[in-house]
Structure 1
Amino acid sequence: MKNKIINTLVVGFLACFMILPGCTKLLDKQPITQVVTNTGTTSITASQAENALSGVYNAEIGYDYGLEFNVLDRITNADVQSDNCYAGGDNPDNIAIDLFTANAANGNIDRDWKDAYGIIATANIAIAQVQACTDPALSATRKNQILGEARFMRAFTYFDLVRLFGRIPLMLKPVDQTNSETLIKSTLVPQSSADTAYQAILQDLWFAKNNVQNDNTPPDKMVVTKGAVNSILAKVYASMPTPNWDSVAYYCDQVIPNYTLMPNYTFLWDNNHKNNSEAIWEFNYVGWSVIGNWIPSQFIGSGWKKFATPTNDLVNTFRTEGDSVRLYASITFVNYGWPDPYWKDPNNYPILSKYNDPNNGTNDFYMIRLADIILLRAEAYNAKGLTTNAAALINLIRARVNLLPTTAVSQGDIALAIEKERRLELAFEGHRWFDLVRTGRSITVMNAQKDGTGNNLNYNVKPYQLVFPIPQNQIDNNVLLKQNAGY
């Protein structure tokens, strides 16, 4: 995957819309949900079809949209919002998400909406262009592979949006730019229910499953394969308002035999084992000469207090479990001298260290890896009362980091054991908040949180706060949008 390649068919109009807001007053008034580009209906060449797909990958991983939405804000939304991290730093938008005081004017939330719909717009345009391609140099198999990969990335983005915001507008084709009247009509889209959004996500994923490459075919794990699609299908079925555990089990079983756990947990983070046997979908960052990952500099380094500080509760859970391998692979204790309301000892200050190359930008990011799917399979076993099978999978993950088998036996205890194992195994990978919400545990867990001296943190989370508010900017620009209840 040549990450520098940007779809030349889309970049011109994006530059006008996103970089030069004064291009037209009409477009100034359109909601960012509807980022528009030149969608031309004339047939493109096979080479341009490949470039269109590269443009979607670039949106997914790159600086315009994906690096913040899919990496930095994934950690904020799933780890900082949960019991894994405090906000750290001094950014009021991050802190508001951490403290459950965020409102519709929150800059992070507004940015996430914009970035997500920017990715979706890029995918929509690529899908339309490739569907229209009649160049005989583009085989039917390759054409469907391209469409499958693009539709997967659109589905993946909508999956994040529906979990973050609940009711969302569904844009499944490029906007109509025939004239200003049709442009306005095609951009003012109302919200769909979560059930409707999930059905659209499933339609894209089913198409992708039938058309993308087989597991481990491309050496670059950034390329979407059946393993990535089956993994997200399993996660979708576990996250829907009514989980379907039979489907979760089926799709996990399509994934697990085709990957293997790395023998040493630290290999996942040493930057010497990219695209390894455990990686299912991995964002490849190769450094500043092509595309680098600047996210590690937000967590590590001197000069200013960094974001996403590990919590007392997480550190204590690692230590109580005797889990020194994952503790020290995930967290480094440093002497930075920063004042902090949660950590009183500046000489023993925890920083997130799974992403450890802030200077060269080479750290990859695992969007999906095998341990996640193994533990999700354990949940599916447990949901069916097969506690012994579930415990065996928990113990498989524990054995890698030299921990004794779980002592949990009952279905309820196994559920909590899986929850804890997912927390320690996947810390700072953007899963924790979503796990707590889909299992119905978020309010109980968050309202019980204490600081380092045992005082309750008084988050006082309410049910309506399980989703973000719709950004006020979007409501102002789209009269069909309605604010989520409670905000």
Structure 2
Amino acid sequence: MKLNKNILNVFLGIGIIITSNSCSDYLDTEPITDRAVELSNTPYTKASEAEDLMATIYNDLGNEYWQLDYFFNGDAQTDIAYQGGDNPQNAQQSEYRILATNSNVSRDWGYLYGRINNCNKVLNYVDNIPDTALAKERREEMKAEAAIMRALYYFHAVQLWGDIPLVTQAVIGVTSDNFNDVYSQVYPERKSKEEVYNFILADLEGALPNAPSSTNKYRANRGVALMLLAQVNATMPNPDFTKVLNYTGLLQGEGYSLLSNFDELFDGNHNANSESIFEINANGSSIWWWGSSMFIGEDWKKFNTPSNDLVSSYNQENDMIRKNSTVKFASVGWADNYWPSSSYPFAWKQRDTSGYQHVYIFRYADALLLRAEAMVRTGNYGLAKPLIDQVRGRVGLSPIDDITSEDDGISKVLWERKLELAFEGQRWFDLKRTGKALDILKKRKDGNGNILSFVSNLTEKKLLWPIPQSQIDNNPNLTQNPGY
């Protein structure tokens, strides 16, 4: 018996796989279900359709999640930045008072699961394409790339929300035979974070043999898989730092090296460089990068205003090279409790507002510092120190003092990551991973050295976001995180 196609349309209209309303004319507005419902195991029949699916996965890197939200989520909730802007939804995030109805949180859920759905299309259907022009080797490579990207998105989601649904099927058709499977995918239950991390690891480990070469910086390549495997093993509930050392060691054999000039990472003239592991290729057409104007410009108060703490940290180290590449001061038409109008700072790593700004997702300095963190966690303090010193030496800073304990070592790693990776979307996740979030963030200060009043809102429970209320309303199988 065949079921009415309207059933699936209802599912996709109100279930988990939904699209969000956009606040920019430049955002991706393509619906998740991009074709009529077909009762078939082969909804795609041509090699060109498979390549179109892959193009969609990479064009997804140009949507609002990457252009704005990822960087705001990773930095504005931390000690390196203030909110900036005047959006009340963003203020909830930066002040640890997010409501389950927050539209930013809802749209990020939609974006992440929408991107996961696009990866699922490749993983579910590419093997069924009858076109012999699509070689077996290319099919395997496609599936590896899609698995790596799916793992990346699930990694972001599990860090934001904790227990989350695992959606593994891009539902195309529904029959009486697959109705239960369709229901479980459209109205999924949350899985434990341990199960989610195991799923991510399986995706990445399975992708490694067929992943593209690390030399292609714009694809989900072997280096991306290794970097994610290292990060996931360092972040999951029971970290495996021996595996972090293994995967970062393999990364060291992939031919990466630090650029000698730190500013060349961001000057727009050294894209796809030796330090880049994975970067977004803004080409002005399939990806037009409007996101830079969210962080720089004097026409309105931008997001991720550099904090007094970050600037003073650079000054304390006399780290003028990284400071000048990371923060730019200008005279503006506004002032606040943080900075005067005559010398107001902007995040400066994204500088190109022409639409061609390339943006790193992973780079080698991050891998070196993650390896140092794993060395500390495994008691190899003497091996952690030269890794930190290598990153510092690139910008002319003296070596760190000897590491005397695990806590001392983690503090030294976090300090270096703060100076090296500011405004690259990492800080929130670094602080949560290392267990230092509450201690550091409750000391956030304004421009006069006063503790910010809203840090009292931050509790252990607030380190996870609420499940969007709209998703709970639409899915009877979802539950809310404690504290919301």
How does 1:264-303 map onto structure 2 within 5 Å?
A: 264-287=261-284, 289-303=285-299
Aligned to 1:471: 468
Q: Distance in 2 between matches of 1:384 and 1:185?
A: 41
How far apart in 1 are the matches of 2:286 and 2:475? 37
Offset from partner CA, 1:68-93 (integer Å, 9 cap, x none): 21341111111001111111010011
Q: 2:221 aligned with 1:225, yes or no? A: yes
Structure 2 residue corresponding to 1:29, chosen from 1, 7, 14? 14
Deviation at 1:27, TM superposition (A): 4.5
Q: Distance in 2 between matches of 1:138 and 1:357?
A: 38
State TM-score, norm by structure 2.
0.90
- Counterpart of 1:376 in structure 2 is 370
One-letter amino acid of the structure 2 residue matched with residue 305 of structure 1: K
- What amino acid is aligned across from residue 130 of structure 2 in structure 1? T
Q: Does 1:146 align with 2:142?
A: yes
1:188 lines up with 2:187 in the alignment: yes
Tell me if the contact between 2:337 and 2:447 (Cα under 8 Å) persists in the aligned partners: no
Amino acid at match of 1:326: R
Greater Cα offset, 105-114 or 127-136: 127-136
Counterpart for residue 328 of structure 1: 324
- Greater displacement, 39-48 / 391-400: 39-48
What residue number does 1:394 align with?
388
1:482 alignment partner, SS class:
coil
CA–CA distance in structure 2, aligned partners of residues 380 and 452 of structure 1: 35
Q: 1:162 aligns with which of 152, 158, 162?
A: 158
C-alpha displacement of 1:286: 1.8
Partner of 1:200 in structure 2?
199
1:361 aligns with 2:358: no
Q: CA deviation at 1:385?
A: 1.4
Structure 2 gaps, min length 5: 1-5, 20-31
Cα separation, partners in 2 of 1:302 and 1:437, compared to 1, 3 Å: same
CA distance in 2, matches of 1:209, 1:340: 49
Provide the C-alpha distance between the structure 1 equivalents of 2:471 and 2:286, rounded to a whole number of angstroms: 34
Instruction: Write the distance in 2 (CA, Å) between the matches of 1:238 and 1:402.
Output: 29
The CA distance in 2 between the partners of 1:332 and 1:323, in whole Å, is 14
Superposed CA deviations along residues 296-315 of structure 1, whole A, max 9, x for unmatched, are 11111232111110111111
Q: AA paired with 2:41?
A: T
Answer whether contact 2:59 2:287 (CA < 8 A) is retained.
no
1:33/1:443 CA distance change after superposition, 3 Å: farther
Q: Once the 2 structures are TM-superposed, how far is the Cα of residue 392 of structure 1 from its aligned partner? A: 0.3
SS in 2 for 1:168: coil
How far apart in 1 are the matches of 2:462 and 2:68? Answer: 21
Write out per-residue CA displacement over residues 78-127 of structure 1, whole angstroms, 9 at most, x where no aligned residue: 10011111110100111111100111011111110000011011111122
Q: For residues 209 and 131 of structure 2, what CA distance do their matches in structure 1 show?
A: 22
Equivalent position SS for 2:397 = coil
Matched position secondary structure for 1:222: coil
1:129, 1:155 → 2: CA distance? 18
Contact 1:56 1:126 in 2 (8 A): no
Partner of 2:260: 263
The corresponding residue for 2:41 is 41
Alignment of 1:305-316 (within 5 A): 305-316=301-312
CA contact (8 A) 1:71 1:365 kept: no
Matching residue of 2:241: 245
- Identity among equivalent positions (%) equals 39
Once residues 368 and 409 of structure 1 are traced to their aligned partners in structure 2, the CA distance between those partners, rounded to angstroms, is: 26
Give the superposition deviation at 1:41.
2.2
2:449 to 444, 450, 454: 454
Distance in 1 between residues matched to 2:372 and 2:67, nearest whole Å: 26
Cα deviation, residue 133, structure 1: 2.1
Q: Is 2:17–2:110's contact at 8 Å kept on the other side of the alignment? A: yes
**Structure 2 residue corresponding to 1:437, chosen from 427, 432, 438:** 432
Q: 1:148 to 1:427 in 2, by over 3 A?
A: same
**Matching residue of 2:24:** none
* Residue number in structure 2 paired with 1:132: 128
2:408 alignment partner in structure 1:
413
8 Å contact kept, 2:11–2:186: no
Counterpart amino acid of 1:140?
Answer: K
Q: Which residue of 1 aligns with 2:57?
A: 56
Q: CA deviation at 1:24?
A: 6.1
Corresponding residue of 1:172: 168
Instruction: Give secondary structure in 2 for the equivalent of 1:229.
Output: helix
Q: Is the 8 A contact 1:33 1:474 kept in 2?
A: no
Whole-angstrom distance in 1 between the partners of 2:16 and 2:53: 24
How far apart, in 2, do the equivalents of 1:205 and 1:433 lie?
Answer: 23
Deviations 1:367-419 (A, max 9, x none): 00000000001111111211111010100000111101012421232221111
**1:63-102 pair list within 5 angstroms:** 67-102=63-98
- Superposed CA deviations along residues 417-448 of structure 1, whole A, max 9, x for unmatched, are 11100111000001101000010000110111
Secondary structure of 1:280's counterpart equals strand
**SS of corresponding position for 1:230:** helix
Asked whether the equivalents of residues 122 and 142 of structure 2 are also in contact (C-alpha less than 8 Å), the reply is no
Q: Is the 8 A contact 1:37 1:125 kept in 2?
A: no
Q: Of residues 97, 107, 115 in structure 1, which corresponds to 2:103?
A: 107
Give distance in 2, aligned partners of 1:56 and 1:192: 25
One-letter amino acid matched to 1:281: F
Of 70-79 and 33-42, the range deviating more from structure 2: 33-42
Point out the more displaced range, 207-216 or 30-39.
30-39
- SS class of match (2:98): coil
Query: Structure 1 residues 185, 405: closer, same or farther in 2, change over 3 A?
Result: closer
Query: Cα offset for 1:36?
Result: 4.0
> How far off is 1:25 after superposition?
5.9
Query: Whole-Å Cα distance in 2 between the matches of residues 139 and 106 of structure 1?
Result: 45
Matching of residues 108-123 of structure 1 within 5 Å: 108-123=104-119
SS of corresponding position for 2:476: coil
1:69 and 1:382 map into 2 onto residues whose CA distance is 33
Distance 1:300 1:197 in 2: 36
The answer for the alignment partner of 2:26 in structure 1 is none
Offset at residue 277 of structure 1 (A): 0.5
